[in-house]
Amino acid sequence: MIDILSLENDFEAVIFDCDGTLVHTPPIYADAWSAGFSLSGKAMNQAWYLLRAGMSEGVLMDAFEREFDIVLDRKCVIAAMRSHFLQNVHKVREVRAVAATARRLSGLLPMAVASGGSREIVTATLQATGLRTYFDHIVTIDDVVNPKPAPDLFLQAAALLGRGPAQCVVFEDSEQGLESARRAGMSAIDVNRIDFREQQCEMKRGDSFQMNA
């Protein structure tokens, strides 16, 4: 059992995924990728993207090419997608309970964001939501060779934080992200299994909140 409200007693560093974990970006990404993929003449619906939310840009484009048996002009697709996303970054909202945990731990433990997104988008997202100030380091797909579920992103974050994998706990929302944390040798919290209403009530009461890792 991992006690969400006493992480500072059990771990020496915390690493957060960004999209779907700290911030609710999948609908905005879905519209942005739809705009990018439309350059190929093929339509992408939101449901197709949401089944693959959390994939890095390269992995998602691999999937789209297989799905439609085409070859994308990847530079153009990425440019269009990122431009659309950044034009709508003001619409991004934080995942309140996870963001509240980051705020609570700020100054108590070193913290990083490790995201499969691009540095441009991740940085803009965290700045737009006011969350950037809480993190010591930001690691993105631009900083490593292999995307999740490889452990590269989390291992790089731990190295920057000066902690070993066993000393870190990860907040994640996707299966590939959780697998990445496992491969990195880190404890992981699936944010989809947190009862946010219960956590918020207990944070107000100052009680303990626990969940299975």
Q: Which residues are catalytic?
A: 17
For residue 168, with 0-12 CB atoms within 10 Å meaning exposed, 13-18 middle and 19 or more buried, which class applies? Answer: buried
CA atoms within 13 A on the CB side of 40: 22
